Amino acid sequence: MKDIETIITHSLGEARNELESFIEDPGTVSAIKDAAAMMAECLNDGGKIISCGNGGSLCDATHFAEELTGRFREDRRPMPAMAINDPSYLTCTGNDYSFEDVFSRWVQAFGKSGDVLLAISTSGTSANVVKAAQTSKRAGMKVIALTSKKGQTLSALSDVSIMAPDAPHSDRIQEIHIKVIHILIEAIEALLSE
């Protein structure tokens, strides 16, 4: 039987190391700043942000959208954001077309020039997220990738790529992603209150 205290301390230490590596990367702050500015400009110009991801990344995409449409820390107007998370839509499209098409068809239906896609993939190679990014670019949308250093496929399609350090397991990358999501929301609110 594994020693639970060892599991806990190892996990916390590993998470700390990943965060420190992310903070020390010279591109981290500028990428987050550029992404926040791009999103704020989109919202200020009457556009919307569409977010997508698989599994835990879909939960993060949903969390991002609900914080913008609801509220984060202070009261303010709701901001137009949507996560591609409707189960009936996802299963219908996955069944009638393919799982690879579930995000791109939503972008085709609702995305327009000037909107932003927040594409979340810990690997950066999720076929449905990559296809959504390709579809967004063709629609004249901006693409912000939230991925990892190994996520070069998605990063190559994005206007801004925020990359967590590579990690042996996706949970460490997702922990960085949720921190970035909270920072983006706080920064967007600050930019739009100016």
- Per-residue pLDDT reduced to its tens digit, 120-171: 999 999 999 999 999 999 999 999 999 999 879 999 999 999 999 998 889 9
> How many angstroms separate the CA atoms of 152 and 52, rounded?
17
Taken in order of first residue, the domains within the chain and their CATH numbers are: 4-192 (3.40.50.10490)
At 32 the three-state DSSP class reads: helix
State which H helix or E strand residue 83 sits in.
strand 81-83
Q: List helix spans (H) across the chain.
A: 4-24, 28-44, 56-69, 87-96, 102-110, 127-138, 152-157, 170-192
> How many angstroms separate the CA atoms of 174 and 180, rounded?
10
Note the pLDDT tens digit of each residue in 59-112. Answer: 999 999 999 999 999 899 999 999 999 999 999 999 999 999 999 999 999 999
**Full-prediction pTM beyond 0.85?**
yes
Q: Which residues of 35-47 are buried (b: 16+ CB within 10 A; e: fewer)?
A: bbebbbbbbeeeb
